[in-house]
Amino acid sequence: MRPWEIHPALIHFPIAFLLGGLLLDLVARIRPRESLTRAASGLFIAGVVSGVVAAAAGAISYYTVPAHTEAAHEQMDAHLVLASAALVLFALVAIARWRGRTQPASAIALCGGFLGSALLVSAALLGGKAVYQGGAGVDPQILSPAVVEGHHHHHGDADDGDDDHDHAQAEQPASDDGHETFTGTESPSRSHAAVRHRLRRARSERR
């Protein structure tokens, strides 16, 4: 398993624990049972602990993930902020619920849980967009030439190399089926025109 693949493998656990804890707290408000409130408190604690582990893996992923678009990098930044805020908020909720684990959750604790859930879901959506739309962590070798070209950028060209990690994919040789890969150094209009031209030529050769 590569370093950037650890975070997506772990993140499902804190999401499930924290949302499950909030759901149990809501049920316990309607039908108060000490067993439910204790279970909810335990889920919050498990969610925060597993969330810290997932966050550490996310930090590793942030600095090791392969080439991705500039938009994906911005989404990753926002993902990091929202997920950190959610973890801090849920930590406060978990402490409060553990202290009062024999009683139904207060209105403040529930509000904190709802707000934390909104932040958590928003962070998850951005993380998914960075992967599925921005190519973060996706092996460029399995993508079509047009997609590979669109998922490359050289952040150092814009900021003279001051970025703290590299987004650029190393230049790839032409593949065996006649398709060419791109390094992303071409201008957008010229590179996209070249991609269309090469794809049309490849289709005509197959015929």
CATH of the domain at 42: 1.20.120
CB 156 within 8 A of CB 163: yes
Q: How far is CA 45 from CA 18, 32, 42, 49, 195, in A?
A: 8, 20, 5, 6, 51
User: Are residues 115 and 21 part of one domain?
Assistant: yes
Do 161 and 63 share a structural domain?
no
Spatial separation of the C-alpha atoms in residues 152 and 206, rounded to whole Å:
27
19 in the same domain as 89: yes
Spatial separation of the C-alpha atoms in residues 140 and 142, rounded to whole Å: 5
Residue 185 in 3-state DSSP?
coil
pLDDT band at 135 (very low <50, low <70, confident <90, very high): confident
Q: Within a 10 A sphere around the Cβ of 138, how many other Cβ atoms? A: 19
Q: Is the pTM here over 0.85, yes or no? A: no
Q: How far apart are CA 178 and CA 201, in angstroms?
A: 10
- Tell me: do 150 and 123 sit in the same domain: no
Torsion, CA 80, CA 81, CA 83, CA 84, rounded to 10: 110
Give the pLDDT confidence score for residue 132 in this predicted structure: 85
Q: Are residues 110 and 164 in the same domain?
A: no
**HSE (side-chain half, CA atoms, 13 Å) at 85:** 18
Query: CA-based Rg of the chain, rounded to a whole angstrom?
Result: 23
Per-residue pLDDT for 77 more than 60? yes
User: Is a pLDDT exceeding 80 seen at residue 164?
Assistant: no
Would you call 113 exposed, middle or buried from its count of C-beta atoms within 10 A (0-12, 13-18, 19+)? buried
**Which of residues 98, 132, 166 is at a domain's end?**
132
Among 132, 154, 185, residue at a domain's last position:
132
pLDDT at 10 over 50: yes
Q: Please give the DSSP secondary-structure letter assigned to residue 140.
A: G
Taking each helix axis as running N to C, give the angle between helix 107-132 and helix 70-99, from 0 to 180 degrees, rounded to the nearest 10. Answer: 160
Do 70 and 32 fall into the same domain? yes
- Structural domain boundaries enclosing 199: 140-206
Does one domain contain both 61 and 30? Answer: yes
Q: Which of 23-32, 39-48, 69-78, 168-177 has the lowest mean pLDDT?
A: 168-177
Claim to verify: residue 181 and residue 96 sit in the same structural domain: no
